[in-house]
Structure 1
Amino acid sequence: MVRVVRKRWWTGVAVLVLAVVGAGLVWFKPWALWVDETVNEALPSASATPSSPSPSSRNPGEAPATVPPATPAGPTTEAQGTFISHEHTTTGTVKLVRLPDGSRVVRLENLDTSSGPDLRVWLTDAPVKEGRAGWHVFDDGTYVSLGKLKGNKGDQNYAVPAGVDLADLTSVSIWCDRFDVSFGAARLA
């Protein structure tokens, strides 16, 4: 009888240990630290701008069409910065780019960071601080999530939603939403 009780006790302990280890693996995803995903996107191209009709396509007596204001021929960089490391080593540059149609994208170039669970790209108003002091500040104030990180290496574009006021958003963070920590961040200047 004692042997049966001991056997059941050890079986229960073994099942509990396996459940805890399994839950820990699912939550922490430690294998992600050794899996790289490289994404190399080109900078979005200039969209076609409307052209005025040629003189031969106008009706006789019709006034010439007004020419729309000149727009840049290509994308222009409005701000940029270099990533510093926080929780994980992170290198590369970030640019805030205005496209000819007036929309904006955050462009990550030569990004190299660790892969991790639930990584996001955030535009924030937080100051970029070196060391552990900068790991947890990005969710303290205003931030705009631009979406999940597409890959932990390479060149990537993230659309800035229309209507976002960029006046006070001065930094970009690679944010781990699961553990509320910055992998790396860059100040936009």
Structure 2
Amino acid sequence: MARVRMVLGRPLVIGALTAVVVGVGLGLYWFQPWKLWQDETVQEALPSAVAPTAPAAGAPSASPSPASQPRTLAGGALISHEHATSGSVKLVRLPDGSHVVRLEDLDTSNGPDLRVWLTDAPVKEGRAGWHVFNDGAYVSLGKLKGNKGSQNYAVPADVDPSRYTSVSIWCDRFDVSFGAAELART
């Protein structure tokens, strides 16, 4: 009788251990907890002014005009949501008419599937602001390049940046904002 119980118990133990191993593996894949201790610093310069063309022989050289310099249209300070986040955000029009969202001195936690979103949602402090950015219009500008530093994100040519009022560091996997900034027009 004891032998029968032992034989029947072994498959249950093996099945339970297999389920635990699979569960831990899926949990590690989904949450990626090691990213909380891994920092990735990115230091990009703001795209520069249009390079002046060489003057014709004998012609005086001209200094770049203000129109050939990037112009900040809006900006704001990042506030913390799900994770402590600091730094600033700028919406910049480049001399060629294109736009970039620039994150400066960003400092946030790393995480799975972080994105930079240009949104029309208001920035709210505390837990009330964690989940508002996917409620209205938003444009994903791409994966967060690094959780620290200064970096640029191109705004697609078919997007009117004046329709958007905030930027969020958005965790697409868990539908939560790590931090966000209201874009105040300058």
* Fold equivalence (TM over 0.5): yes
Match of 1:114 in 2: 109
Q: Which amino acid aligns with 1:168?
A: R
Match of 2:62 in 1: none
What's the offset of the Cα at 1:47? Answer: 2.4
Match of 2:61 in 1: none
CA RMSD of aligned residues (A): 1.8
**1:147 maps to which of 142, 145, 156:** 142
**Counterpart contact for 1:71–1:100, Cα < 8 Å:** no
What's the offset of the Cα at 1:100? Answer: 1.1
Match of 2:77 in 1: 82
User: C-alpha separation between the residues in 2 aligned to 1:168 and 1:96?
Assistant: 12
**Counterpart contact for 1:90–1:113, Cα < 8 Å:** yes
Question: Can you list the C-alpha shifts for 1:159-178, whole angstroms capped at 9, x where unaligned?
Answer: 01112112220000000000
Match of 1:105 in 2: 100
Secondary structure of 2:13's aligned partner:
helix
User: C-alpha separation between the residues in 1 aligned to 2:157 and 2:52?
Assistant: 19
User: C-alpha separation between the residues in 1 aligned to 2:92 and 2:67?
Assistant: 12
Residue pairs, 1:34-183, within 5 angstroms? 34-48=37-51, 54=56, 72-183=67-178
What's the offset of the Cα at 1:50? Answer: 6.3
Q: Where in structure 1 are there 5+ consecutive unaligned residues?
A: 57-69
Question: Can you list the C-alpha shifts for 1:106-145, whole angstroms capped at 9, x where unaligned?
Answer: 0000000000000000000000000000000000000011
What's the offset of the Cα at 1:152? Answer: 0.2
Secondary structure of 1:120's aligned partner:
strand
Match of 1:60 in 2: none
Match of 2:26 in 1: 23
Q: Percent identity?
A: 69
**Counterpart contact for 1:46–1:101, Cα < 8 Å:** no
Q: Where in structure 2 are there 5+ consecutive unaligned residues?
A: 59-64
Q: Which amino acid aligns with 2:14?
A: T
User: C-alpha separation between the residues in 2 aligned to 1:24 and 1:173?
Assistant: 26
1-10 vs 102-111, greater mean Cα deviation: 1-10
* TM-score computed with the length of structure 1 as normaliser: 0.88
User: C-alpha separation between the residues in 2 aligned to 1:132 and 1:168?
Assistant: 25
**Counterpart contact for 2:50–2:68, Cα < 8 Å:** no
Secondary structure of 2:30's aligned partner:
helix
User: C-alpha separation between the residues in 2 aligned to 1:47 and 1:119?
Assistant: 31
* TM-score computed with the length of structure 2 as normaliser: 0.89
